Copies of this chain bind each other. A is one copy, B any other.
Amino acid sequence: MKYCFGVDIGGTTVKLGLFTAGGEIVDKWEIKTRTENQGEAVLPDIAEALNAKLAEKKIGRDEVEGIGVGVPAPVDAEGVVQNTANLGWGYKEVKREMEELSGMRAEIGNDANVAALGEMWLGAGKGRKNIIMVTLGTGVGGGIIIDGKPLVGAHGAGGEIGHLCVNYEETDHCGCGNTGCLEQYASATGITRLANIRLAKDDTSSVLRGQEVSAKTVFDAVKAEDAVAKEIAEEFGKYLGHAMANLAAVADPSAIVIGGGVSKAGEVLIEYVEKNFKERAFFANKDTEFVLATLGNDAGICGAAKLILS
């Protein structure tokens, strides 16, 4: 029996998983991300946790294929990070350090790309080799899997789906400095923004008035057939659907997987996106399937493990 580890480094916790090469999760657990002193403890803490797990499970190091690691930053093909927003790292040769600390082979990827790989391997994209995953959370992230591998790109910045421009008329700015980014319309904060703009436009009655507006309350109101909420969902669906149509014309996926907190709204969300997608998709891509992500927070450790097995 061969094993591998999948590690998903976040700003507050590191998720770790022990997998069989066949894709069974043997064990999963978390440790704290210690970001003080430029995050110098992050990788040693991981190496220690993995070696302790091997001892606990009585697994020899020669039975382990290696360690896959997802990092919240662009990672180049050599496993090098230039900078991270929330781990404290500057330039860091993550692959080399992880291998030296652990004595095992390591492969490093960007966390969003790695999550997409996880959904392809064990989740909503199972059995496919070409998928786009879009993660609707506080921001919009994503990963593009081409022929079974994440699209990494020249700077490790491939798959920055949230910063596709979908509205050239927009005057409000995105966090990245541009205007009209998908993230301004399709993230949790983007949907709240769309809702507040719509509610301020006139005084049509809506269950959304008199409560704190969020992506969740908007989609709850859509399910309750609230007309204003449906208008907001339609606008969200237009921007996300049109962005996915553009992306499909170049990446030609067999499925688009939608995950992240906002996707908890469920199938109703897919309907708004898919309808607008079909309206704009290039003919070769009209039959692209839309599916909800199924792995939730485990996508990262699953995809990280798959980095080692690819």
Interface set of A (CB-CB < 8 Å, partner B) = 74, 77, 128-130, 144, 146-147, 149, 151-161, 163-165, 167-168, 176-178, 242, 245-247, 249-254, 280, 282-285
Contact = CB atoms under 8 A, between A and B. Distances in A.
Contacts of A246: 164-165, 246
Tell me whether chain A's interface is mostly helix, strand or loop, or mixed. loop
15 contacts: A74-B284, A146-B152, A153-B251, A153-B252, A155-B252, A157-B284, A157-B285, A158-B252, A160-B249, A160-B252, A161-B249, A163-B249, A165-B245, A168-B168, A177-B283
Number of copies of this protein chain within its complex: 2
Contacts of A130: 153-154
Contacts of A129: 154
A159 B144 CA distance: 14
A111 to B, nearest CB: 15
A282 B182 CA distance: 12
B282 A176 contact: yes
Given A129-B154, A168-B242, 11 more contacts: A74-B284, A146-B151, A146-B153, A147-B152, A151-B252, A153-B252, A154-B252, A159-B252, A163-B249, A165-B280, A250-B250
Contact of A154 (B164, B250, B253): B253
Contacts of A282: 157, 160, 163, 176, 178
B250 A247 contact: yes
A252 to B, nearest CB: 2
A286 to B, nearest CB: 10
A77 B147 contact: yes
Contact of A153 (B159, B161, B253): B253
A218 to B, nearest CB: 23
A159 B130 CA distance: 13
Contact of A250 (B147, B161, B167, B176): B161
Nearest to A283: B176
A174 to B, nearest CB: 10
Shortest 5 CB-CB contacts between residues of A and residues of B = A153-B252, A154-B254, A157-B284, A130-B154, A158-B252
B178 A250 contact: no
Contacts of A74: 284
A155 B167 CA distance: 28
A171 to B, nearest CB: 15
A93 B113 CA distance: 33
Nearest to A177: B283
